[in-house]
Homo-oligomer: A and B are copies of this chain.
Amino acid sequence: MDVKTVCLGMLTEGEASGYDLKKEFESSFSHFFAAGYGSIYPALASLAEQGLVTCECIPQTGKPDRKVYRITVAGRRFLAEALENPSPCHKLRSEFLATLCFAHLMKPEDIETVLDNRLAEIEEYKKFFKDLEDGDLQCMHAGTKFVVGFGKAMMAATEAFIAENRHTLIEADDRKSATA
């Protein structure tokens, strides 16, 4: 499941341009699947070449032609097969956690900053999820609702964990040497 396949999936909701898909990546997908123009545009070109989508060029004045993509029957078939993967991966890459592994080498105020910045990011996500749900809850698919709910649950769990455990990083005996 790469950027190409996700684009294909998004196109099952209706026609869209690369620009439109980027916005989709920035909204409901932002917390678990990032993609920039540099991935999206080549992905769409490649999908078109494989016949999985069609492309209609709509001339515009002043702007580059708007290219509207639509999924084809072959595209739906391809997507269905991709969705049959029984164990799609779920991978975290966290420099945040890696940093905290070495908290005993950090200044206490730096630890606090790292923690507070993470909490601030979570706060933004929470707002953002709220907006999503306020917006078009009823027109969201069950899958999208599930995924947004999942994001909310993770953010809540993270917040709670940090609140309950941040003191262990600051008060730790192992800051200079084992005092045990």
Contact = CB atoms under 8 A, between A and B. Distances in A.
Contacts of A12: 102, 105
Contact of A32 (B84, B92, B106): B92
Contacts of A154: 154, 157-158
Indicate the member of A29, A98, A110, A114 with the most B CB atoms within 10 Å.
A98
The A interface, classified by DSSP as helix, strand, loop or mixed, is helix
A145 B97 CA distance: 11
Nearest to A152: B161
Interface residues of A, number: 67
A63 interface: no
Interface of A: 1, 5-6, 9, 12, 28-29, 31-34, 79-80, 83-106, 110, 113-114, 117-118, 121, 138, 141-147, 149-150, 153-154, 156-158, 160-161, 165, 168-169, 172-174, 180
25 contacts: A1-B98, A9-B101, A9-B105, A12-B102, A33-B97, A33-B98, A34-B91, A79-B105, A83-B99, A83-B102, A83-B110, A88-B95, A88-B98, A90-B95, A90-B121, A100-B143, A100-B146, A101-B141, A101-B147, A104-B143, A141-B174, A146-B165, A146-B168, A153-B161, A154-B157
